[in-house]
Structure 1
Amino acid sequence: MKMLRRTIPALLWIALTSPSHAQNETQPPTLPLSADDTFSFDLLSSLGTALYSGADIAPILGVAQTIEPGNFASFSHNYYALAKKTKAAAIEAECQSDAINARDTWFAAATYFRKADSYLHGDWNNPLIETLWNEQLYAFDKAIASLPVPGRRVQLPSNDNFTVEAIWYAASSDPIGGQRGTLIIGNGYEGSQEDLYHTIVMPALARGWNCITYEGPGQPTVLRRQNLGFIPEWERVVTPVVDYVLQDPSVDPSRIVLFGYSFGGFLAARAAAFEPRISAVLLDGGIFDTFDSFSSNLPPIALSMFNAGNKTAFDNLLDSVSNDPDVPTTLRWGIQQGLWSFKTHSAYDFLQMTKTYTLRNISHLISAPVWTADAEFEGFFVNQSMKVKEALGDQATYHLFSGPAGYHCQVGALQELNRVIFTWLKQTIG
């Protein structure tokens, strides 16, 4: 009887969010890699990094064949097996003194270790969470140490009793090469700074830009090492990074660009409102109001509980949903990841926290030009980028990615993403 009482809310949720209650589904713009839409998206995201040394193609297609749709343990197990195999290949390449093969294989191993961690956060005590993260850090550090200009990890103290974790990538080792534009690049809800090397850092370096990636509270390494969940005042994270890059003589102070990826599209915009040294802002994609975006995915019964302040009922409902394998993966993962990265065991408290992640009443403080991206098949922050454009008016450039490039954050279409970004930067700040 207890099991039945736990299951009924989840079944009700499924009924309320089934295709008969939702918008009609459209034909996907690319060949699905899994019968599970969310797994397919994640497989495509790692497949897409092959363009910039983040993975190999056939191994991921092989993993796609073996992962059981909707099974979080299966996803983790299969990526973990691939990661260990790839790590062994990297060690073998090192033994053969093949520096380039070793570097690219270490990069791929790091990607696979990170992917194996993606769906583990429903159980904070799972020891694999630390094991996989330590493995990916080791593999990634081996790789960036072998770059033509090695990447360098730095820890940047904040005035707010936390430390920003960052990686500096210089475009050149030439001390008299002149000043260059510098990208400050942050990820979002669950993505790591290591992911960003294969998203924008590598193509930026090829175009002569310095780059620094960073993580603050709520993001992978800071969350694990400092036990800190997200904070809304993201300028407390970005300002120490700006301070750091301005100490480097290769940095052109008039060309400091802040890039926010995924949920980082809110974080970067928030920081830019209070950091006047930013020359331009890139939001992929823009997020105007986090609570509006998250709460719009709730069926009426759940939203009614939340608005009534019925915390216990709301928490019980979302707990049953997040642990029900029959509930769509995106929803289960979204709840589990939200609790993990905001450091709360209460879905009610998590959703309350998101109310402070808004550009309402502060968007007018952003002084730099803004580029904000949207995606035809955006599945996480629907219509948010247009709201950023509307709030900023002519100060913002709105770009819609469509067709095969129209997934959230252009997974699988990173070449197109970078073409658009760097064309806009050249036209905007030179």
Structure 2
Amino acid sequence: MSNIVLDDDLFDAQFVRALAYVRSGGAELGECLGTARRITKTDGELWYREWLATAERAEAAAHAATTAGDRVGARGAYLRASNYFRTAGLFLMGKPVDERFRDTSHRQTAAFRAGAALFDSPPEILAIPYEGTTLPGYFFRAGDPDDRTPRATMMLTNGYDGTVEELYFANAAAALERGYHVLAFDGPGQGSVILDQGIPFRPDWENVVTPVVDVAVARPEVDADRLVLVGWSFGGYTAARAATGEHRLAACVADSGPYDLYDATVSRIPGVLAHQLPDGNRLALGVLEKAMESTMRKPSAGWALRRNLWVHDVADPMAFIELARDYTMKGREHLVRCPTFVAHTLGDDISADAPKLAAALTCPVEYAEFGHDDDVTGHCEMTGRAVFHERLFRWLDGVLGQHPEAP
């Protein structure tokens, strides 16, 4: 599929990501198209300025609607502002932390909370106990807010560069429409946990999810026998990894994650240099290191690597490659017991090995491949989230044996 607006593949993909939330209330077509068209070159500074301007315009509209007593208008404008603030800061990610990124991150949270407070059933803001600190989260109730009948509950975990607030647009809204309660959270390496607490990623996500499950099952409105964990992007790995050790899950969803982070990383390195990893010819490895450091300085091509070094708290690209070995499902597939949904979009190199994961799992597996027949493209099915959700929830209805709102 050719790019929609922007010439650079990554810039266009991130534009599509922002635009994808029209259906869940996080974007407006004209605002997104207008912003993208003003980004006339592959420049992270220009990206930041234009999306920030759009975010602030939506925020101002929210304030005006609030003053006028327009609850619906204020809610919608705050939610759009949240998505746009998050989008504005994307290409500033890295270390040391750019204070403008800190500002847009905090403003996206504030805007989301202002909008969510205007929901018919506002979410509960959570501080989930975790190893001497807390993880940020939200609990969204489906249906009548006074109804405490236990329901199926979807737990949402993120990837590398999302936020717990974005999870509402990506998955929570669709789950709430179908009668699921939702518990969304950020873990180590994600959102405010890395930004404000400085806690980096860890590979053993079962030790992250277990405290979250403890919080979920303690709630009377949660059916502890119908708890679903959904991870998207890098969360497609962490969700599957969590299911190897946390066995209170009724189902797991690995949406577009890597099977093995080392393999996914090395697949992007030219073969002649990749073959020298980890302890090959020193001259060749030196060339690779210099090439990666050069790439890191490029606004688009180097973004993922800059981001990865920050969220994993490593000093250089070679250290990241070595660390990536710890993030694998190889040899652990048999430990997943619950039914698992594995998703992949054709052409998405991040989840290119999803078929291998699906084939290696020994639990009941549903492998869902999206592509030309569905008119779905992009990482995490970004041009077809509704198509993804239709297929996912049909499968979940079968796994859970009944609709989520059934007692």
Q: 1:60 to 1:239 in 2, by over 3 A?
A: same
Q: 1:278 to 1:392 in 2, by over 3 A?
A: same
Q: Given that residues 219 and 341 in structure 1 are in contact (C-alpha distance below 8 angstroms), is that contact kept between their aligned partners in structure 2?
A: yes
Local SS of the residue matching 1:406: coil
Structure 1: distance between partners of 2:17 and 2:97: 27
1:402 aligns to 2:371 (yes or no): yes
Unpaired runs of 5+ in structure 1? Answer: 1-27
Q: Write out per-residue CA displacement over residues 272-294 of structure 1, whole angstroms, 9 at most, x where no aligned residue.
A: 11001000011112432111011
User: Where does 1:158-197 land on structure 2 (aligned, <5 Å)?
Assistant: 158=130, 160-197=131-168
Aligned partner of 2:405 in structure 1 is: none
Query: What value does the CA root-mean-square deviation take over the aligned residues?
Result: 1.7
Structure 2: distance between partners of 1:128 and 1:261: 26
Q: Write out per-residue CA displacement over residues 384-416 of structure 1, whole angstroms, 9 at most, x where no aligned residue.
A: 210111111562110111123132111121211
Amino acid at match of 1:139: A
Q: 1:217 to 1:152 in 2, by over 3 A?
A: same
Aligned partner of 1:36 in structure 2 is: 8
Aligned partner of 1:117 in structure 2 is: 89
Q: Quick one: which of 277, 280, 289 aligns to 2:260?
A: 289
Structure 2: distance between partners of 1:72 and 1:291: 27
Aligned partner of 2:291 in structure 1 is: 317
Structure 2: distance between partners of 1:394 and 1:155: 32
Amino acid at match of 2:252: V
1:350 aligns to 2:324 (yes or no): no
- How much identity, in percent, do the aligned residues show? 28
Q: Given that residues 375 and 400 in structure 1 are in contact (C-alpha distance below 8 angstroms), is that contact kept between their aligned partners in structure 2?
A: yes
Aligned partner of 2:198 in structure 1 is: 227
Q: Write out per-residue CA displacement over residues 145-185 of structure 1, whole angstroms, 9 at most, x where no aligned residue.
A: 11111012211112x34422211111134544521100000
Structure 2: distance between partners of 1:151 and 1:407: 30
Local SS of the residue matching 1:153: strand
How much has 1:300 moved relative to structure 2? 3.2
Structure 1: distance between partners of 2:233 and 2:257: 8
How much has 1:301 moved relative to structure 2? 5.0
Q: Given that residues 33 and 44 in structure 1 are in contact (C-alpha distance below 8 angstroms), is that contact kept between their aligned partners in structure 2?
A: no
Local SS of the residue matching 2:90: coil
Q: Given that residues 334 and 362 in structure 2 are in contact (C-alpha distance below 8 angstroms), is that contact kept between their aligned partners in structure 1?
A: no
Q: Quick one: which of 358, 381, 385 aligns to 1:389?
A: 358
Aligned partner of 2:31 in structure 1 is: 59
Q: Quick one: which of 345, 358, 365 aligns to 1:375?
A: 345
How much has 1:379 moved relative to structure 2? 3.5
Aligned partner of 2:109 in structure 1 is: 137
Aligned partner of 2:71 in structure 1 is: 99
1:49 aligns to 2:21 (yes or no): yes
How much has 1:31 moved relative to structure 2? 5.5
Q: Quick one: which of 349, 362, 365 aligns to 2:332?
A: 362
Structure 2: distance between partners of 1:321 and 1:300: 17
How much has 1:264 moved relative to structure 2? 0.2
How much has 1:69 moved relative to structure 2? 3.4
Structure 1: distance between partners of 2:172 and 2:61: 25
Local SS of the residue matching 1:168: strand
Q: 1:360 to 1:123 in 2, by over 3 A?
A: closer
1:149 aligns to 2:121 (yes or no): yes
User: Where does 1:189-228 land on structure 2 (aligned, <5 Å)?
Assistant: 189-228=160-199
Q: Quick one: which of 42, 49, 54 aligns to 1:82?
A: 54
Flag as ranges the 4+ runs of structure 1 deviating above 6 A: none
Aligned residues: 396
Structure 2: distance between partners of 1:175 and 1:191: 31
Local SS of the residue matching 1:258: strand
Amino acid at match of 1:40: D
Structure 1: distance between partners of 2:57 and 2:239: 37
How much has 1:312 moved relative to structure 2? 6.1
Q: 1:263 to 1:125 in 2, by over 3 A?
A: closer
